[in-house]
A and B are shown apart, each in its own frame.
Chain A
Amino acid sequence: MHTVFKRSLTVVVLLLLTVASRAQVAPAAPAGLADVLTRLEQRSSPSLALNAELEQLLRDEPALVASVPGLLRQGSLKSATTDVLIHVLEVIGSADAQRALGEILADPAQDHLDRLRAVVALGAVAAPTGDSLDTLWQATGARTDPKAIDVANTALLALGVAGSTLRQQSPAQYPALREELLSRMHGTGDQLERTLVLKAVGNLQDDSVGSQVMPFLADASAPVRASAAQSLGLMRCEASAPVLAGQLGTEPSGAVRIAIVTSLTRLQGTADAIVAVHDQLLIDPNPAARAVMVTYLGEHLDQLPAARPTLELLMLSDPARQVRLLAAKALYS
């Protein structure tokens, strides 16, 4: 109870200081913080030293962290300053800092860009707390308006990033998060949400879930197939290389073929994959897809010397200028 009283008193004092300092500095901030914020507002260019000063101040006086959501909500700070404040909270990453980020992202009254920044920041803290994960999960369920959906989608990606952190640092917490994401991936009926969850699963960078993602390469929706391919590349699922390569020749969507080859570039170059890309390059009618394939072949030219004549032909005769230039670059870089 005593601690609660002290915290309450601190908040009251900070609020009083906020009011008292409003007349002195542009941003209405607690004493100490106001000075740094004023200089952040007045800077003509970014300053690592100033950012570090702000970080040190918030580390030295943790009570100030709780005042940040309120400061942002006032809307009087420049976007560049609020960006720094949110980033510093991410770097500090304490439970208080995560709580403040959670407040920002969950508050519809906050600037939309700041909410998105807070989501990304909360997903990237060094040691996400259970409360932070709960906050992100709650955000993914609020799909009531365009901005809420934007926050929800970004929160899904952030959960993937947080999952990657937990996998390394807190293996006991990780399985629950992974299973929840996989469950959402299978269960959602919303195509757009499924594409985001697939990317979030890719962000886990856990190739053990690749077998659950691969079936989505056969989804009726091209964006879902593209996201599944992207996800497999992000998680470096080497086992998916033959599947991706096999689909390249039959995939009707050029956008999906682009995603497949882009993912193959993240994987080790297997002979089957390189040959599949080479064969498709000769017949692919999509210039953007050919551009990605040319780059891929250029990276594996030593494994498939037969691709050299193909690239030389494309360098001189492909109807797309970008493909010609990329072919030249692939041959001579």
Chain B
Amino acid sequence: MSTCVRALRGFALTLAALLTLAAAGRCGDAAAVEPLMAALEARVDAIAAEPQPTAFEKQEGKALAQAFALLLGWGGGTEPQDLARLTKAAAAVAKSKTFDIPVLGEVGAIRDVLDNEAESARQDAAKVVILLVKPAIQAKLDKRLARADEVREEGHVAWPEDYGQGARKLARAVTLFRDCLAQAEKGQLKEAKKQPNDATVVESFLVTPVPAIGHPVKVTTVVNVTQPTPKLTVVIRVVLKSDVDAATDPTQDPDAVMAQCVLGEYTLVDLPAGERSDTLTFVVPKEYEDPNTEEMVPLFEDHYYLMVELDVHDELIELAGATSEDNNVFIETQTPYLLSDNFINSPNVVLESVVLDPKIIYADTTGTPAALFGVTMTVTTSGNDEPISGATVVTGIETAVTYGGGPPQPLYLNGQIWDPVEEAYVSSLQLPDLVAGQPLIIHLDIRYEPPLGGTIPQEIDPGEFLAELLFGISSGVLEYEPDGPDNSATVPDCTYVVVPLPECSVSADFGKAMGNDNFAAAVSFASALDITDDPSMFPAGGMTAGAVGTLTGGVDVTLMGFELDFVTFEAVLERDPVQDYSYFGADLYFLDFVIYSTGAVDTPLLESIPILPDGVSFCDGGFCYTKDFDKSKDVKKVGYFFPGGVPVTVTGKVEGKIGFNVSVSASDGLTLAGGPFVELLGGCDLALGVCPAACVGAGGELTLVKDSFITTAGAGMTVLEEGENQSIDTALCFSVWNKIEMLNGKLFVFAQFPWCDTCWAFLVPYPCNCGFKKVTLDIIKWDAFVFCQPLIDEEFPLCCTPVTGDPICNGSSSAVCNPSGCPEEVEGD
């Protein structure tokens, strides 16, 4: 028998032994391992005796070293069910050329020990040892260690330099294992042993039917943990099928590195014990880092396997079974996926979602929605190298209403969307540039046109009708649509409420909320002016009537999950022209405390009051009142983030100015001008660690909300008397302008930490491309929403409130109302 043939046979034996051992060791069966161990030891002796080992024998030596490492770790198992699993696994490995990834994971864990001499690596190794070595087989382990010592000595003395690599690694492993055992014996990891956990990938598959390079794919991954787990990181990769297949082919270069491309990483938090399925979308990158050259190379069209790795940062202490620390890598080798490059330059714009909350649209009997409202729209883009400019969005409402009690008839309303650039409502809004991989989250403020150009058969019946909002995006380019048309979205199950036309009252109502759980603002504002004959409003009593105005506004802030009533403003205004009584009162709240209160009362006795309230003066036969107030306030709350798996504590802050300015005059009529304003910024602070050991930070700028409402309300009131009838001739005017800017900017947290990619050689993972990795996580990121428009701007020459008898209307009243227009800057300096 020639040397070459002997080497081939020896290598084949070693490989088979290795694979079988892998399966056996996975279950820790000592009886099954022992004969193979003996055979391997014989081969070690034989190779060591060769004066000039062949290339094959050298490779065999490496394999032997790995096998030894495996044996050292496993040491055998004792459970009856392990034997059954061993038999099954060994048979599967023998028949199939596909390799068993959990076994590779075990090898990888050993390699981690072989390639690291740092304390932290030994800590990891200790965990592996505790996992794999049971007290019952301590004697066997000691024997293996003794044998390994002998091998080490032989390697140092007799083996050629390039041949002895495996032996040296083995020797290092022995030393490390001993250290680890010593640590384990000291009980340093006893606590970890008390709470064994095991994380495994049950299955993982691509949902997207036609996956394409440069485009999103949906991946479903099912993981299982045996204990409740606070945090589990998951990395999804694709690996070239041919590389994986070659890894089991002994004729291929065992040192070849498998090409792998990271699709994405995500973190599962607060996992209960058991299985959990997640379907997430990742973009298949157009290029990846070549592990051989460390250069970015294009990802080419071919068949790939999906590869999932759990607990990437080794945060989980898995001690549940003989293989639990090392079963975190999973490759689905049954289903290769063809990643196509046919659409690599074709963009795909997807209207992911439109959110309206609450799902209600108010309209009057002409069909015209009575109030503006806003939606939050999310658009994703993929595939394009250059941003897509000029994409537009349109909207409409589809409903069915009744006329005069008849059957429902369809009604469609075209929508108009606020264009912050043009500062006008437009039927088709041009979106910001669409950049691949950067979701566009945008707030749209919408009003709907009167139906059919303002003509309907007759007034719509008051009531409630089911409606659907429609949205569509036109990108202006030819798109790749793997899941069919995806440029439109609907908001179903909305309620279209038709209410009667206004009568003796006017009001404005505005509400808008934007943000996420970390930073959000919800602005609300309402004002109303009513003519009423409620005598109880007027302390002089008797048969009287007048005007009642109310004005409320506030901003609720969400900060790191905490919801806070940051600021509230409440004002009430009353005027009774018969009794010549006027009242104005306003309170400003911060976090549910009244921090400022002001007001004025005008009665016939006002002139006898020795000291007029601040801001009050006599004018036009009545009184005038002007007041400005503002004050900066802030709140802080702590939040927790995990950029790249690194825990970072962040103190979020909302700080800014709250206040109001009002001007009131009450004489024959009544006018109120002004309103509340806020200007709040968001920020975050944290204690910076020392790079590179614990380098974390936060930054960014965020305008949370900057809003000012200017109400101009006027009520002209003339008291009319005719015989027993007394009534008030009234005229109202009402104008509310709102200037608002919300959520402009971003806040982020980052962490920089030592990092190695995982590369694969001859079925064995090893760390590569080591260096520092900086991971940035956006706490919030939002494009500005800017709006300055009248919520209402109308005059009502009404005669609507007789106190007794029939209305007497001679149009003698007029209301003084000068619409303010868009407010100037919030700060009044």
Contact = CB atoms under 8 A, between A and B. Distances in A.
A220 B161 CA distance: 104
Given A51-B655, A223-B585, A291-B528, A147 B536 contact: no
Interface in B111-150: none
Interface in A71-93: 78-80, 83-84, 86-87, 91
A161 B528 contact: no
Nearest to B504: A319
Contacts of B537: 253-255, 286
B679 interface: yes
Interface string B523-549: 000101010111111010000000010
A79 B679 contact: no
B429 interface: no
B225 interface: no
A328 B596 contact: no
Interface string A144-186: 1111011001100110110010000000000000000000000
Contact of B594 (A113, A157, A320): A157
Interface in A264-317: 266, 284-288, 291, 315-317
Nearest to A256: B536
A211 B818 CA distance: 47
Nearest to A327: B499
Contacts of B539: 222, 253
B630 A199 contact: no
Interface in B341-370: 358-360, 362, 370
B463 A316 contact: yes
Contact of A146 (B503, B570, B612): B612
Contacts of A329: 358, 360
B613 interface: yes
A117 interface: yes
A178 to B, nearest CB: 15
Interface string A113-134: 1001100110110000000000
A116 B632 contact: no
A244 interface: no
B594 A315 contact: no
A46 B679 contact: yes
A146 B358 contact: no
B358 A116 contact: no
A324 B592 contact: no
Contacts of B633: 87, 124
Nearest to B613: A146
Contacts of A317: 500
B683 A48 contact: yes
Given A328-B497, A332-B497, A160 B593 contact: yes
Contacts of B829: 78-80
Central interface residue in A150, A328, A333, by most chain B CB within 10 Å: A328
Interface residues of A, number: 76
A7 interface: no
A196 B594 CA distance: 10
Contacts of A200: 594
Given A91-B634, A286-B532, A322-B507, A120 B596 contact: yes
Contacts of A285: 532-536
Given A87-B633, A147-B614, A254-B537, A321 B596 contact: no
Contacts of A321: 370, 499, 502-503, 505-507, 528
A287 B585 contact: no
Contact of A154 (B462, B536, B596): B596
B583 interface: yes
B823 interface: no
Contacts of A86: 631-632
Nearest to A332: B360
B259 interface: no
Interface string B622-645: 000000111111100000000000
A196 to B, nearest CB: 6
B827 interface: yes
B681 interface: yes
B828 interface: yes
Contacts of A332: 358-360, 464, 495, 497
A79 B505 contact: no
Contact of B572 (A112, A120, A288): A288
A48 B548 CA distance: 40
Interface in B591-611: 592-598, 601, 611
B550 interface: yes
B410 to A, nearest CB: 21
B512 interface: no
Interface of B: 358-360, 362, 370-371, 462-464, 495, 497, 499-500, 502-507, 509, 526, 528, 530, 532-537, 539, 548, 550, 570, 572, 574, 583, 585, 587, 592-598, 601, 611-616, 628-634, 653, 655-657, 679, 681, 683, 685, 701, 827-829
7 contacts: A51-B655, A157-B597, A285-B536, A286-B537, A291-B550, A328-B497, A329-B358
